[in-house]
Amino acid sequence: MRLAFSTLGVPELPADQVARLAADNGFHGVELRASPEGPVHTGLSADERADVAAQFGKAGVQILTVAAYAKVAAAGDDEPVLDEIAAAVTLAHDLGASFVRVFPGGADLPAEEADALAARRLAAAAPVAADQGVRVLLETHDSHRGGADVARVLGAVGHVGAGGLWDVMHTWLAGEQPATSFAALAPYLGYVQVKDIASASDTTPLPLGAGVLPLAETVEVLSRAEWDGWLCWEYEKRWYPQAAELPGLLGPAREHLTRLLTESA
């Protein structure tokens, strides 16, 4: 398995410094948060996109994902959601990223209606993304927190251009065991987000291994299945300013994940 981290931990850091951080700490890739207030977003010009891609290429670090914020199960018209996904897919293509992350966001709707909205929008977006060499990944999050919830939507989509992103915290909060989450998501799985927290009631990010999330069990399940994808550390410093700074935690995080991978081999 290959290791990446999310720029949620360093939300304002320029692309060249992110690439250097990844390379210096032994990470193979980076999940880039795409937001207007950050350095990477869909408003970048063609030259700016080429420059970002070049910075990561020079460092030998892969841009894994454009982490977008479209909510595919939210109430409202389809067009704005599909436009947001399309812009993120084009950005991912231009940066050489494999994936675009989207959220469900259907908490205000009955489950069947939220499922239907998400499936319809993903079915529309998936072929367009696939034509650009990109997969749109629905994250286990908010209204579709469990692996079974996301798998239910993706099963209705039935297109390789749409897949799942397994956020281990959210499936744990949904009450799923790692083996159960993986079994549901395996046919669709793009990659896995790992993190650590103190408890279900305190989701302030902690260094990997310092909290309660079942990281060892997750890695063991993946290894036992001979799954050869990406583990991406999502350290949500952007939302928790009191959390420790990410750069000094990257080396220990890579060592912790490497140890888990070795022990599960």
Per-residue pLDDT of the chain (265 residues; tens, 9 = 90+): 999 999 999 998 999 999 999 999 999 999 999 998 889 999 999 999 999 999 999 999 999 999 999 999 999 999 999 999 999 999 999 999 999 999 999 999 999 999 999 999 999 999 999 999 999 999 999 999 999 999 999 999 999 999 999 999 999 999 999 999 999 999 999 999 999 999 999 999 999 999 999 999 999 999 999 999 999 999 999 999 999 999 999 999 999 999 999 999 7
Q: What is the pLDDT of residues 229-244, one digit of tens each?
A: 999 999 999 999 999 9
Q: pLDDT at position 102, please?
A: 98
The architecture CATH gives domain 2-264: Alpha-Beta Barrel (3.20)
Q: pLDDT at position 260, please?
A: 96
Instruction: Tell me if the pTM is above 0.95.
Output: yes
Q: What is the pLDDT of residues 187-210, one digit of tens each?
A: 999 999 999 999 999 999 999 999
Q: pLDDT at position 37, please?
A: 87
Q: What is the pLDDT of residues 60-86, one digit of tens each?
A: 999 999 999 999 999 999 999 999 999
Q: Are 86 and 50 in contact (CB under 8 A)?
A: no
Q: Whole-angstrom Cα distance, residue 127 to residue 108?
A: 28
Q: Whole-angstrom Cα distance, residue 203 to residue 141?
A: 14
